[in-house]
Structure 1
């Protein structure tokens, strides 16, 4: 299996899919607790952590391959940010695999990014074009994590984002096949979480989903930025459980 993944603990299957500025290490503070009651599956998507990139791939297809190899069933899937988008794609294609979804500050289809987010992407692009990877990494740490995060969380985010740049810049242009998100097919319970300090795009994405999901629970965290499980790991278990 090309996709780097880890399986720990015993019990109902719990899948954790990381954010697009991170890798599976973002869940490290939670995994020890979760493994007392679940079989916890963590992984690095292509181009993140310990998983190499590839010219053509599908993130949702890769995650499905991991779950099938492990014989997973009745999965609770937790996806942060881009990881939440991957979970939506996969659960739309294979809703039979999932008992429950938790989407944390996740984007979705049919919602337009806000101006602040577009400006951030443009600033990141200029820094990378200039070869200033350190500057782009600093930008990520400033803008993608909320005020509640401690120094350890910020340093971990810096390390994970630097790894993302190392792998993805070396890989060059790639093609990621995205599967359509179909909210009406996500009939399992879905908790949709947003943060008060996050970009408007993610709040609007959550609202869009909550209006269309058959069984949605909408949770807004006034204290949170984009990565609440890093910002307040002690509260993460409440979000996931």
Structure 2
């Protein structure tokens, strides 16, 4: 079946989720990062929709999605799968969205054929950068500048500082990321920050025990993608995933930071297609 639904809404119980459902074939569900929205997956959807059914959505509190009650992102992702009658999906999450995808997979592994985590958040992992880290000064400077601007209501400036921290990374100069890419992510992040200031529902993972304590239980095939210049704390989380998950493959994307699928979309899309194509038929 080939679908072509863009900008539709569905009831996920505690949220109304905006989503796109395009293409035909095996189903891929994309979950975006905390400084973007579902548009971050534009390049992947464009490249894959002729071979895969691609579903992407805005998390509650981002983009065009709205909270309607109390719930978690994990529950809302699973509700989206229910509403669209999706099983045996290739689930892909980036950064904050990777944590949502991981939690959902740990709770309902039978719904997921494979899991890909890009620059992953892992629930329960300590992401505090040590003060003796070689990137500490750059991380602290950009983070503090973002918080100060946000609290002053200067959302564009706050987004620019967050993009400098996450998309560019503290080890690189701004110019390494082309202006149109920085502007695109800044626009998405500014919108997300405005939503946060307006009162986005707080939504920390309540998975108990947290994901970091359950990694050996993750039975589905896992692809971990991380940028060469991502933060040390993220690389630490990646090392733990690679060391503890039974069926795992690691890919480091050269010359990228926290959002390799945005910086080098064709390279990451090729990694995804190769990973899925190498899975045995009926993999669960």
TM range (shorter): over 0.9
| 1:1-241 correspondence runs (5 A) | 1=11, 2-53=16-67, 56-108=70-122, 109-115=124-130, 116=136, 117=139, 120-146=142-168, 149-171=177-199, 174-179=202-207, 180-181=210-211, 182-241=214-273
Q: Which moved more, 1:121-130 or 1:3-12?
A: 121-130
Using structure 1 for the length normalisation, give the TM-score: 0.93
| 1:136 to partner: Cα distance | 0.6
Superposed displacement of residue 150, structure 1: 2.5
User: Runs of 5+ in structure 2 lacking a partner?
Assistant: 1-10, 131-135, 169-174, 274-284
Q: CA deviation at 1:172?
A: 5.5
SS at match of 1:88: helix
**Cα offset for 1:84?**
0.5
CA distance in 1, matches of 2:39, 2:141: 28
Hey, what's the Cα distance between the residues in 1 that align with 2:203 and 2:101?
18
Change in Cα spacing, 1:76 to 1:173, as seen in structure 2 (3 Å) is closer
Segments ≥4 residues shifted beyond 4 Å: 117-120
Task: Give distance in 1, aligned partners of 2:145 and 2:70.
Answer: 27
Higher relative contact order (CA 8 A, sep 6+): 1
Q: Secondary structure at the match of 2:40?
A: helix
SS in 2 for 1:49: coil
Deviates more, 1:117-126 or 1:148-157: 117-126
Greater CA deviation, 169-178 or 131-140? 169-178
Taking a change above 3 Å as real, the CA distance of residues 50 and 173 of structure 1, as seen in their structure-2 partners, is closer
SS at match of 2:33: coil
Is the 1:53–1:167 Cα contact (8 Å) retained in structure 2? no
Q: Which moved more, 1:102-111 or 1:143-152?
A: 143-152
